[in-house]
Amino acid sequence: MQTITVKSWNGEKEVNREQFVEAWTDQLNGLWTICYNQEDHTTAANIRADLERLAGNAFDTLYLEKTAGES
């Protein structure tokens, strides 16, 4: 399983891609409370999708950097 080391408030830990993306997207959970119509919900869903993509790309980049250093 592919993992990277991340730093958090309680030290370092190993996370996989799913855990890394989830840590970023969980921060959006409150976003839905300010959505009062379909347009707002669509915007929020797009923000979440964009954040999932960004976090996934960040994980992939960090993993490649990690494995390049191991070679």
Bridge partners (DSSP) listed for residue 8: 11
Sequence-distant (6+) residues with CB within 8 A of 45 are: none
pLDDT (tens digit, 9 = 90+) per residue, 7-57?
A: 988 899 999 999 999 999 999 999 999 999 999 999 999 999 999 999 999
- Quick one: pLDDT band at residue 70, thresholds 50, 70, 90? confident
Evaluate if residue 71 carries a pLDDT over 70.
no
25: Cβ contacts below 8 Å, ≥ 6 apart? 48, 51, 52, 55
Q: What is the pLDDT of residue 8?
A: 85
